[in-house]
Amino acid sequence: MTRPDVLVAAPLPPVTMAALDDAFVVHRLWEGVADDVLSRVRGMAASTLAGPVRDDLFARLPALEVIANFGVGYDNIDMVAAVARGLVVTNTAGVLDEEVADLTIGLLLATLRRIPAAERFLRDGLWRDGNFPLSPSLRGRRVGIIGLGGIGKAIARRLDGFAVDIAYHGRTRQGDVGYPWYPSVEALAGACDVLIAIVPGGASTRHLVDARVLAALGPQGVLINVSRGTVVDEAALIAALQAGTILASGLDVFEREHDVPEALLALDNVVLLPHIGSASAITRQAMGRLMVDNLVAWFETGRPLTPVPETRIMPSS
């Protein structure tokens, strides 16, 4: 059987690249690929690391059938164009839920208990002169989760062990979930003093957390964002942190990745991480394996393992 031609949009972990090379005829976009080769490409391995995957690239790939994305979020892909062209799109849903949930709880505790600041206090020799100031606490708080999908539920399971009240917002109420549901993010913020954002990126969720939501969260409120930077109005968040509109924030994502505003860096009531939610060796390997398995399943059976909701499944040619 002839191995399908697959285009890789940006470098992936070595173990994932090796698995792709084993299964397919792989072409690396960053090395330059001739148009006659692109015309044979039937599959693509994409990731947020590659930047936007848009219709102008699809137009150069007339035989393209499937895009397997490295990550659960796929706002890097122009889904309107992909659906219009009948392309199948997959993600790595499920395999990173527990890792991201672990990181979320760590970021929440680091933000509330000011763990990074406490370590700096010790390293700077200040403990010799007195104790570190008392911090806020998770005790007695009500936590609102924006987006109760697989990762949101994994976060909620962990929070259950902390004996805190939990509520959530999503597009619809989930009948099999016992937590209170709020019809808007602003209403959820008004009922809680911790907000955790774990929703997909894209136009529909852009600035879902804005100045009104932050005002509703209040002066003891804490915002944790482990979804996409575009979900939060970053300028409004900076203003809220500077003015004391909210107490603190923990961020693993930013509106412009790798370009964190100086105003955020200057604040001592934020904990900032370089988008490491799923960034453990074991989880990245599992993500890569699922990405490859989606491509293999498509070409062997015409049925990918984890298609995204927008995609239309059609028989493989």
Among all residues, which ones are annotated catalytic? 228, 257, 275
Q: At what angle do helices 97-112 and 150-160 cross, to 10 degrees?
A: 50
Beta bridge partners of 55: none
Cβ-Cβ contacts under 8 Å for 275 (sequence gap 6 or more): 252, 253, 254, 257
Q: Are 250 and 222 in contact (CB under 8 A)?
A: yes
